[in-house]
Amino acid sequence: MYGILKNKLEDKTAKIGVIGLGYVGLPLAVAFAEEGFEVYGIDIGIKRVNSIKQGKSYILDVPSEKLEKLVSSGLLNATSNYRVVKKLDAIIICVPTPLGKTKEPDISFIVSAVDDIIKNRRKGQLYILESTTYPGTTEEILLPKFKKGSYRIDRDFFLAFSPERVDPSNRIYTTNNIPKVVGGVTKKSTMAAKLLYNNIVDEVIDVSSSKVAEMAKLLENTFRSVNIGLVNELALMCEKLHVNVWEVINAAKTKPFGFMPFYPGPGIGGHCINIDPLYLSWKARLHGFESRFIELADGINSGMPQYVVRRVIRALNERGKSVKGSRVAVLGASYKKDVDDMRESPSLEIMRLLSEEGAAVSYCDPYVSSLKMDGKVVTSSILKRDFLKKQDCVILATDHDAFEYPMIKDNAKLIFDTRNAFADRDLAGKNIMAL
């Protein structure tokens, strides 16, 4: 079976399936299709499937022109029906892995996808999990499922884990030039996964097991979470000491070794940095180990929206205004600049907290046309002079490049810049308050 799969992967006759067509799955499917593979994207979201069929991209990193060309050529197909699995040679799972209400891992989307694969599978297929999860998931959860019905690893199927490393809106590092880590549950599975990704990625790094690959992904994001937590705490400390934290960081990063700059902000959003470390700490607790760094960083980072709101309330009080009844506009609803992804965005928590305090809250975001706030659908306000002049305070929560920063500075009464965006653009003023 391995020899047949190897030949198909090398001569590009293998049919590739990608389950989950979000920020990870769709760019991955496009990358394989661009290399000449026949690709089938599977997603339970009918709107996504129909959008792909029409050649209309909903992911900013995938231009509609490119998508339409691949779809019309027949290289890229989309469906919500798992029966297509029967014709596939390699299947990559890219479904969400959120946290439950008690901050425990929720791998139900993975389990559901695997169950649907098994109902439609055939022998000789390669299965790869890309969804971020706790160490041991591939070997302890997926492998027993795929072995049911007398299926044997290396004879009837191959199984590996390869962590996604997508950075939305990054124009330098993309699917093709970000090194890919792969770890199979067996050596042959690792080799098969490496052969697959060699077709679209410049460098593929194989490790000894799927558990190592799973752990490597969590280390990457835990490293970021802990360091962001450190610099967020430094920002709180610097405010008490009346020191500009941004100047401190800029001075420290001039050291050519032993220091890597991280920057404070209103909180951490997205699916990775604020969630992945908790997968690791949860798994560690099962083995009697308390990961104190992870828990401390999570506490600091989770508390940043409250800190932002406290600073706004204090600033309004100093100007003789109560937060209750004040007009407050939040600039940027997505979790990072130049994307439309609102998952776990600190902006949403900031708006919720301000609304609870009685403020009249609005928001502006060129990438997010509407969102739900207090159970109601709210639309993005147009960022113009008249709008800004009516606000008692403007919070820059996400530093989109599309914002007209000089115009904002000249027309807003009070600006709380949580991203140092105005200073970075050499814009200063008595109305600008830095994090």
What residues act catalytically? 272
Strands (E), 192-281: 204-206
Q: Are strands 157-161 and 432-434 parallel, antiparallel or unpaired?
A: unpaired
Phi, psi of 147 (to 5 degrees): -85, -10
Instruction: Return the number of other C-beta atoms located less than 10 Å from residue 327's C-beta.
Output: 16
Residues found in the chain: 435
Nearest partner of 414 among 335, 304, 327, 347, judged by Cα: 327
Give 37's contacts (C-beta < 8 A, 6+ positions apart).
12, 14, 15, 16, 75, 199
What token pair was written down for 9?
């992967």
- CB hemisphere CA count around 33 (13 angstroms): 25
Spatial contact of 35 and 58, defined as CB atoms under 8 Å apart: no
Spatial contact of 206 and 182, defined as CB atoms under 8 Å apart: yes
Instruction: Return the number of other C-beta atoms located less than 10 Å from residue 203's C-beta.
Output: 11
Nearest partner of 281 among 98, 106, 103, 101, judged by Cα: 103
